Amino acid sequence: MPRALSLLAAFASPVFLCAAIAGWLFEVWPANPLTLGVSALLVMGGPVIGIAHVATADTWEDDIDEVEDAPTAVLPAPVAPPVRVPEPLILTAKTDAARRFASWRDTPNPAITQRERARRANQYVRSS
CB 42 within 8 A of CB 14: no
Residue type, 123: Q
Chain center to CA of 91: 44
Provide the residue ranges of all domains of the chain, joining segments of one domain with +: 2-69, 93-127
Which residues, at least 6 apart from 57, have a Cβ–Cβ distance to it below 8 Å? Answer: 1, 2, 3
pLDDT of 66 above 70: no
Total-model pTM: 0.32
Contact assessment for residue 50 and residue 5, using Cβ atoms and an 8 Å cutoff: yes
pLDDT tens digit string along 16-53? 778 878 888 888 877 777 877 877 787 777 777 777 77
